[in-house]
Structure 1
C-alpha cells in the first residue's frame, strides 16, 4: 500500500542512504547536497521541507521509500507549484511513483488554492517522463538545450496539470 505522510524524525537514515545513491540522484536538482549528510537530513526534516510548499514522504507497505513535493512559486506565479519526486532504487519499476503522484496531485488540488502543477524533466529521464504521462500531466513544450547534465546540454520537457 502506498501512503503519503509528513517527514519526521527517524527518516534521517533513509534520506541519507537513498540520497547518496547515484542511481536515485542522477536526474535530481544540483540543489540537493552531495554527499548528503545527517545534518542535511535533519535540516530537511525539521525546517527545509516546511519552507518550500507541501512535502510528503512516500511509504510503501509501511516503509519509507521516497519523497514528493509541490514547491510553491512567487509573485505572478504564486498560483502554481513545481512538482518534484524521487524514489529509492529498490522500489523502482513497481508503479509506486505514478500512484504517489496521482494521490499527491489530487491532495494538492483538494487542499490548496493552487491552479497549476508543473514538472520540468530532462529528456534523459525517460522513467519520469512516463510517470508524468501516466499521472495525467500534459507536455506543454520542450525547452531546447535548457539543462546542463554532466557537461552536456540536454532538452527539458515541461509537463503540467491544471486544476480540474
Structure 2
C-alpha cells in the first residue's frame, strides 16, 4: 500500500546499493529527517528547497510504514519540520503533490494547514500509467524578499 502512492524515484525492488546511496547521498539533500518509534526507523520526511526563482519554496515528501498509519506520526513530524524550517531557513512556501486518491496524505497536509491549490492532470507517470496530482501548499510567512 505504501508503494502504490510512493514516488517512482524510490526504486523497486529496493536493493542494498539503493540503501547505501540513500544513506551516503540522497538523505543529505535538503532537510531530511527520520521518523522513529522506540528507536526504530518507521518513516522519513523531508523538504527539498527549490532553485533560482523557486529558492524560497520547498517540496515536502514523506512515507510511513503501514503498521504505524493512523497514529498522527506524520502530522507530528510535519509540524516539527515546519517549525525547523521557519527558524532555520528563509523558505516562505511549502508544497506537495499527492497522487489523486491518496486521501490519507491529503488529510495529513490539511491538518497542518496546507490548502488544496489545484489539479495537475496526468502529471505523474509511474510504471507505465498516468496519474493526476493534487497540489497542496502552505505559506509560512509573508516575507517580501
TM-score by structure 2 length?
A: 0.89
Q: Deviations over 1:115-155 (max 9, x none)?
A: 11100111121110111001111111112232235554332
Q: 2:63 aligns with which of 67, 77, 86?
A: 86
| Cα distance between partner residues in 1 of 2:23 and 2:14 | 13
- Residues 151 and 60 of structure 1: CA distance in aligned 2, closer, same or farther (over 3 Å): same
Gaps of 5+ in 1: 1-22
Report which stretch shifted further, 54-63 or 130-139: 54-63
Gaps of 5+ in 2: none
| Cα distance between partner residues in 2 of 1:157 and 1:55 | 22
TM-score by structure 1 length?
A: 0.79
Between the two proteins, the alignment pairs up a number of residues equal to: 141
CA contact (8 A) 2:45 2:78 kept: yes
Alpha-carbon RMSD: 1.5
| Cα distance between partner residues in 1 of 2:89 and 2:38 | 27
| Cα distance between partner residues in 2 of 1:134 and 1:149 | 27
Q: 1:41 aligns with which of 5, 8, 19?
A: 19
